[in-house]
Amino acid sequence: MKQGIFTIQSNENIALNVYKMVLTGDTGAITAPGQFVDIMLEGYFLRRPISVCDCVDGKLTLIYKVVGKGTEAMAGLEAEQKLDLLTGLGNGYDLTACRNHALLIGGGVGVPPLYMMARELREMGKEVSVILGFNKAKEIFYQKEFEALGAHTYVATADGSVGTKGFVTDVMNSVDIPYDYFYCCGPEPMLKAVYNASKTGGQFSFEERMGCGFGACMGCSCKTKYGNKRICKDGPVLTKEEIIW
């Protein structure tokens, strides 16, 4: 974990209530896709945990959805403003678990951390398929970015406005996608559905309310087959084999 001051380069609306923020600063503590940062906002006691979408050459990309006063305040930030960040939080995904073909599954704001992972897997020479789940067309983001990486990209929308009508598991059940390992991020009901629909081992990134973000307060503990784990410190990524629903 490292604390540092970052400078906002851009902060733009890219989909319905979804924003993309690009910052520059010391990103040395960010070592794996699936990690997150904790952002200090003026006037708020607790920091805001946001997953890392990408991290390249000192540029940090965050994608977040406006769901409350904190993220609403973030949406109002402008270029050249400074932010105090804790970086390198969480364990991240283990990409070495995939042999040849990875399946990445994301729902809503669970999509962003999959992008850095897809990029790194492609750089490792792996085949990558991605299933992106949204409620409707206006909420879709980063489909073209995944396609530009060479990932086989599928979209599911709950209202059927784009791609497969339904959920990410409807794509899993209707399309013959070859994969030897999967990675998943999204709301817990989606994670559980993917768990039941999956055919191989995999890793899940869990969302949880956090107090400190680095394991001190014990506020985000959960039970696993190997004992209690802290989502912020020992997670947010857990393997399929250790999860207790």
Joined tokens for residue 190: 């989606």
Query: Which pLDDT does position 213 carry in this prediction?
Result: 62
**Taking a C-beta distance cutoff of 8 angstroms, is the pair 64, 17 a contact?**
no
Helices (H), 82-240: 112-123, 143-148, 168-174, 188-197
Query: Which pLDDT does position 220 carry in this prediction?
Result: 64
**Taking a C-beta distance cutoff of 8 angstroms, is the pair 56, 23 a contact?**
no
Percent of residues in the chain assigned helix, strand, coil, to nearest 5: 20, 40, 40
Query: Which pLDDT does position 209 carry in this prediction?
Result: 58
- Asked if the domains 2-89 and 95-205 are classified in one and the same CATH topology, the answer is no
Joined tokens for residue 112: 């962003």
> Average pLDDT for consecutive 10-residue bins of the chain (245 residues)?
97 98 98 97 94 97 96 98 97 97 97 98 98 98 98 98 98 97 96 97 82 60 77 86 92
CATH number of the domain at 95-205, please?
3.40.50.80
Query: Which pLDDT does position 119 carry in this prediction?
Result: 98
Class of 2-89 per CATH? mainly beta
Query: Which pLDDT does position 211 carry in this prediction?
Result: 60
DSSP 37-67: EEEE-TT-SS-EEEEEEEEETTEEEEEEE--
> Residue 216, Cβ neighbours under 10 Å: how many?
11
Question: Could you tell me the pTM of the whole model?
Answer: 0.94
Sheet holding 181-185, edge to edge: 164-165, 152-157, 127-134, 101-107, 181-185, 202-205, 237-239
The ranges assigned to domains in the chain are: 2-89, 95-205
Query: Which pLDDT does position 237 carry in this prediction?
Result: 96
| Residue linked to tokens 């039970």 | 223
Query: Which pLDDT does position 223 carry in this prediction?
Result: 78
**Taking a C-beta distance cutoff of 8 angstroms, is the pair 218, 230 a contact?**
yes
Query: Which pLDDT does position 207 carry in this prediction?
Result: 75
